[in-house]
Structure 1
């Protein structure tokens, strides 16, 4: 069907033609001037009404998309990275609420931040130990506390005993006798297209002496889910847990966890691996400072010599996200049961953690459960819309006032030209300046969320809401090796909290256009990627701010996995909507590749090309 042009002129012309046909007039110039004036006025009103109808349709679609799209897709995305710490003694764990602070005063002042916090996305196990030495084809290295490698010795001659093998020397506390579920983090900081190497780590063979070790991919985490199925289901679909799972998936293949028991004692430690001591100079044992627990790793054939030398490995590492808890106090009574969850500049709301009052009552979100809740204290969460006059209303009135000045400028200029016309021009300049300031502020500040208590409050009391916040894209690009600070956990060694990777991935909450694309993807694919259209919709919905044009083609490539040969691939070509730096293209490619694999069948082999 041909689209109808709803411009003001087209509406007026169609009305003139209709009037001329009804009155049998061949030339519209013969119409009465009063009739012409009435038709022009009516065409203008119809044009305004058609614009308002389009706005209503758009707002309805946006509201439906916001209500039916999964909450984790329309929320702000926290920046994430890998960090490491060290336990003071023995083996301990870090809770997901443990907060680490970044205290660079210059960075915080530039971004207008009061605080910049990170919390773990899992409950990792940490030990009193570190990677103290590494042996590979290139040589024998000592590793210090800041991950700098010092060459101790080189092999005297090449040998197949060193080919594609690495010995990791662990310096552990004497109180540790047995290790279980020890996780290693691997990285290739100076290698491009590193994702293919991460996926080969699961094919490595691990040994402690002559004993083979059982390993699995992923970081070890203590689970804390509900005891029943209902509790586990609710735990899985909590907002923060969905964000944590999404970030864990991005780093899943970078970790290897040893399931087998590792014994630590005088009979399992040595100064240097005995099976290769003859390949190094005679004084190599004397240059070793203390006995270490040595683990041997055999890598697949795809790992070349220079790749092995560029590889870094750490323990006590885990993923973190830029999200932290904020706690406020608010007085409520029978007349005031709406509580605003206030945020500072460059702070964005994620989810409510807990709500309690001064009488010791705990409030729970009303999830429309059929069963009657044990507690009668419930609340509903609403994002915006509770203000009598919000910033959105202010911008709408400004736009209407500007349109009025533009449309009726003749009326203003026709009377008292010396005073009113000049005042109108000055007013227009001030309104433009005010509108610009409102738009700039709105870009870094989202609408306020509110808690609406659903029970009548008979007595005045204090309410203590605790909720999660994030800084979105402001927390990106904090360099690796930066030190983080903490105050709550005494099991962590002072000064050991350090970033192992650059923070990235922080994004603002999607705008209305991107929310509509997300709704289209979730409605048509139900959260899975199977077809070419699913891939394109997924890229547009999840990375609409970066992906300009997406093309999907078929391809073939020699597999890096041992024994597979040539495999068919799905090649995704993404044209960036804006110019990206070289490292940003790599980050974008890695995240998109990880997300596509997560929502696709296991036999889909993707290659991502960012142009």
Structure 2
């Protein structure tokens, strides 16, 4: 029998009436004394309320214990992410996390409205990185030299001589740079195989790819170089455990194997390396045709033999690409004399609070975050975050407390007899009307349904002003912005407006977990501390990450041939996931599994080769 139905008010009353009739030997319920029915009705109501109070108490105890023992990161909203391409106006630009880009999305029209609502979805880079005023102009592979045009398209420009063949597993690219650009060091090249969605082995092989310039091999690093990365000994305490840094780590790791960064010192001055064509191409093309090409930096890329020739043909290369996250930085200031030690942080419509970016006062004192469980100690110059509940007088919310006040006034109206019963009735009616107006206003508001977050702080002495900056995200609303969508800059114009477009569809956005989903998240957090060691940790993380999107999971040991040419057979941990009945397309499900695999590898304390399959 359903627990809800078994504990409903009607079921409780029916069971009590049944026991009463059996005890007295009464055959018909209508023969029971009306006073007994009244007592049973009142008692069933109280038992029903008591049962709900016990359930609420269990939920609050579990929630509070879990919040103390498990990280807020596990239940926090997650921003969507994607790869954005943008070419700078100047020779080079450093894009930091404060640079905002936005996409205007059309929402479905609400009931009673004819026109749809527009929602601006903001994105910022996942880290500070440098972009250069340069673009891939030419590429040569196998039998033809191609010219790159807009949107990653290629046009055949020259064909090789009869009988000539290009070097195997080799790709030449010519990069056209602005005349004022003198350095190309730390430039990141983005590799994309859009045709090979399910085969990610090619990306893992990029770390053994070799780059040559003017006949000499260049020093390279896998991944994108971030300017704001700090050394481990210079990071603040708990820097790596901050919510926004944990989220950023996952996003960077997911896209890391798509990038190769050119770190060679010779690229600090590229003036001498610009040419119409490299000498090696003279054996493939007519020299007069080569002279018509524009001066470029010519790089020779040698791929490992495991990448077939047709995959190199389908490869798309891009410059000036970087991961972005759907988040927005807000700034507020408060006068300390006008506020208490609790500051409400209320995001706008559709927004979800993500984390505090920075809090300081007019004396330039930087405030440090401490867990809310220790907030009662009141460290000076510290703060903590409380997710809802600070507006309550007790376990009930303000509305419930006022309703209780009404009942108390009616029950104890004798205490107000001196004022007259008409006065009390009129006052209560006025209060009820005002509360109803507030309730209607709150229901019609488009504000986020999330509980308000509160900043509990202890201001430093002699501080007069507080300056707060915090992150918000649109979470799930930022998903599924299609590849190729144009973005706009929200403030200072650093990039050419026509060059801003997404190279991947946004994915990974998630709203705050609901009550039922929090149980699995807390179970994972309490048993693993976000580190995967055992098989139970592995299955727990998969259930936490995929939630209702998966039906079943099975893990087994396997063996595969390593994609690295220097290795042979390797042991693997094979994960077979049965998807639930959902509306995800094949590319969306493949992206979800690839993101799962990336997070598994970053959390594994051992060097484990994971393979994820759909069963």
Structure 1-normalised TM-score?
0.79
Distance 1:493 1:441 in 2: 35
**2:58 is aligned with 1:68:** no
Residues 172-216 of structure 1, C-alpha deviations (whole Å, 9 max, x = no match): 234444432222111112222142211111121221132112222
**2:153 is aligned with 1:152:** no
**2:612 is aligned with 1:608:** yes
Shift of 1:527: 1.6
Residues 521-577 of structure 1, C-alpha deviations (whole Å, 9 max, x = no match): 122122222333222110111221422322223334333321434433313323235
Alignment partner, residue 301 of structure 2: 297
Which of 117, 122, 129 is 1:117 aligned to? 122
Distance 2:106 2:275 in 1: 46
Shift of 1:510: 1.2
SS at match of 1:585: helix
Shift of 1:296: 0.9
Q: Mean Cα displacement is larger for which, 261-270 or 165-174?
A: 261-270
With over 3 angstroms needed to count, the CA separation of the structure-2 counterparts of 1:284 and 1:568, relative to structure 1, is farther
Structure 2-normalised TM-score?
0.78
Distance 1:270 1:278 in 2: 17
Alignment partner, residue 251 of structure 1: 255
Shift of 1:331: 5.7
Q: Mean Cα displacement is larger for which, 82-91 or 308-317?
A: 82-91
SS at match of 2:147: strand
Distance 2:569 2:594 in 1: 22
Long gaps (5+) in structure 2: 110-114, 405-435
Shift of 1:275: 1.8
Distance 2:236 2:369 in 1: 18
Q: Is the 8 A contact 2:87 2:496 kept in 1?
A: yes
Report the RMSD for the aligned CA atoms in angstroms. Answer: 4.2
SS at match of 2:246: helix
Shift of 1:133: 1.2
Pairing of 1:135-214 with structure 2 (within 5 A): 135-156=140-161, 161-214=166-219
Shift of 1:286: 4.0
Shift of 1:520: 1.0
Alignment partner, residue 353 of structure 1: 357
Which of 475, 485, 502 is 1:499 aligned to? 502
**2:351 is aligned with 1:317:** no
SS at match of 1:543: helix
Shift of 1:320: 0.9
Alignment partner, residue 89 of structure 2: 88
Q: Is the 8 A contact 1:545 1:577 kept in 2?
A: no
Distance 1:293 1:184 in 2: 14
**2:217 is aligned with 1:216:** no
**2:59 is aligned with 1:54:** no
Q: Is the 8 A contact 2:80 2:508 kept in 1?
A: yes
Q: Is the 8 A contact 1:153 1:281 kept in 2?
A: no
Alignment partner, residue 274 of structure 1: 279
Distance 2:124 2:392 in 1: 36
Q: Mean Cα displacement is larger for which, 341-350 or 489-498?
A: 489-498
Alignment partner, residue 326 of structure 1: 330
Residues 113-165 of structure 1, C-alpha deviations (whole Å, 9 max, x = no match): 55321111111122221211111125211113543222112334576643221
Distance 2:306 2:444 in 1: 52
Distance 1:158 1:474 in 2: 55
Alignment partner, residue 586 of structure 2: 582
Shift of 1:253: 0.6
Which of 366, 370, 382 is 1:367 aligned to? 370
Distance 1:333 1:607 in 2: 58
With over 3 angstroms needed to count, the CA separation of the structure-2 counterparts of 1:156 and 1:233, relative to structure 1, is farther
SS at match of 1:301: coil
Shift of 1:247: 0.7
With over 3 angstroms needed to count, the CA separation of the structure-2 counterparts of 1:594 and 1:138, relative to structure 1, is farther
**2:563 is aligned with 1:560:** yes
Residues 28-75 of structure 1, C-alpha deviations (whole Å, 9 max, x = no match): 989996899778976775565344323321221123223332232221
Shift of 1:487: 5.2
Q: Is the 8 A contact 2:105 2:119 kept in 1?
A: no
Q: How many residues align?
A: 562
Alignment partner, residue 391 of structure 2: 387
Alignment partner, residue 446 of structure 1: 450
Distance 2:281 2:394 in 1: 72
Shift of 1:246: 1.5
Pairing of 1:404-423 with structure 2 (within 5 A): none
With over 3 angstroms needed to count, the CA separation of the structure-2 counterparts of 1:517 and 1:16, relative to structure 1, is same
Which of 488, 508, 517 is 1:514 aligned to? 517
Distance 1:95 1:376 in 2: 31
With over 3 angstroms needed to count, the CA separation of the structure-2 counterparts of 1:390 and 1:594, relative to structure 1, is farther
With over 3 angstroms needed to count, the CA separation of the structure-2 counterparts of 1:11 and 1:596, relative to structure 1, is farther
Distance 2:81 2:288 in 1: 44
Alignment partner, residue 527 of structure 1: 530
Q: Is the 8 A contact 2:94 2:129 kept in 1?
A: yes
Q: Is the 8 A contact 1:12 1:39 kept in 2?
A: no
Shift of 1:474: 1.2
Shift of 1:323: 0.9
With over 3 angstroms needed to count, the CA separation of the structure-2 counterparts of 1:344 and 1:491, relative to structure 1, is closer
SS at match of 2:237: helix
Shift of 1:356: 5.0
Residues 381-413 of structure 1, C-alpha deviations (whole Å, 9 max, x = no match): 22211234999959989xx9xxxxxxxxxxxxx
Shift of 1:329: 4.9
SS at match of 1:52: helix
Q: Mean Cα displacement is larger for which, 546-555 or 249-258?
A: 546-555
SS at match of 1:200: helix
Which of 543, 565, 569 is 2:546 aligned to? 543
Q: Is the 8 A contact 1:251 1:319 kept in 2?
A: yes
Q: Is the 8 A contact 1:540 1:547 kept in 2?
A: yes
With over 3 angstroms needed to count, the CA separation of the structure-2 counterparts of 1:30 and 1:140, relative to structure 1, is closer
With over 3 angstroms needed to count, the CA separation of the structure-2 counterparts of 1:392 and 1:48, relative to structure 1, is closer
Distance 1:60 1:111 in 2: 42
